[in-house]
């Protein structure tokens, strides 16, 4: 365990709650990448070693809470701190279910919380599919260089079907 990493008893204290307006401030401080901002170097300009992490962090920080009825954000909280985020929804046409984002706070890396957050999101999506008698898959996308997420999704049963696109995103599907 790295210096400053949370103790196991704090990780065991993870409580999942639907995101509400009251969580806006905690979510706006959520950090899932290190460094938490772009850097600048004269020879390469603005850069980040894992831009997909920065994209997810930025998207989650600006979510309007509460979300519309066709979206769900579930937070894994430890005390008053956001440790994980699962953001799921329908697609724009309302025909497919999507894993929009799964993230864990940077300081909780290495504890398997990303997979726990994915499982929570998949439970929400499967319950939605069952409640509405939908016959559709669950889709996700991950950047081609984000090997941790690609491995996590494959371990959960997702299969690659398209990609990478022009932005480097690979499309995956579960339960076609």
The answer to whether position 67 is within a domain reads yes
CA distance 147 to 129: 28
Q: Which residues, listed in sequence order, are joined to residue 84 by a DSSP beta bridge?
A: 76, 104
Question: Is 106 within 8 Å of 64 (Cβ atoms)?
Answer: no
pLDDT digits (tens, 9 = 90+) for 59-95: 999 999 999 999 999 999 988 899 999 999 999 888 8
**pLDDT for residue 9:** 54
The answer to whether position 54 is within a domain reads yes
The answer to whether position 31 is within a domain reads yes
Does 164 sit behind a cis peptide bond, omega within 30 degrees of 0 on the bond before it?
yes
CA distance 36 to 47: 12
The answer to whether position 2 is within a domain reads no
Over range 119-140, report the average pLDDT: 94
pTM, two decimals, is 0.88
Residue 56 pLDDT more than 70?
Answer: yes
What domain range is 69 assigned to? Answer: 8-174
Question: Is 77 within 8 Å of 33 (Cβ atoms)?
Answer: no
- List the CATH number of the domain containing 154: 3.40.630.30
The answer to whether position 161 is within a domain reads yes
**pLDDT for residue 1:** 40
Number of structural domains, the chain? 1
The answer to whether position 1 is within a domain reads no
The answer to whether position 3 is within a domain reads no
């Amino acid at each position: 365990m790295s210096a400053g990493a949370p103790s196991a008893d704090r990780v065991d204290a993870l409580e999942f709650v639907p995101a509400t307006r009251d969580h806006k401030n905690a979510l706006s401080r959520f950090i899932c990448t290190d460094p938490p901002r772009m850097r600048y170097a004269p020879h390469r300009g603005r850069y980040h070693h894992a831009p997909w992490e920065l994209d997810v962090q930025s998207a989650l920080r600006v979510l309007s809470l509460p979300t519309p009825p066709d979206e769900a954000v579930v937070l894994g909280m430890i005390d008053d701190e956001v440790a994980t985020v699962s953001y799921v929804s329908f697609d724009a046409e309302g025909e497919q279910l999507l894993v929009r984002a799964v993230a864990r706070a940077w300081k909780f890396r290495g504890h398997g919380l990303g997979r726990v957050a994915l499982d929570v999101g998949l439970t929400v999506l499967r319950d939605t599919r069952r409640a509405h008698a939908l016959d559709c898959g669950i889709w996700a996308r991950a950047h081609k260089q984000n090997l941790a997420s690609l491995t996590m999704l494959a371990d959960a049963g997702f299969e690659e079907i398209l990609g990478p696109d022009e932005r480097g995103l690979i499309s995956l599907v579960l339960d076609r």
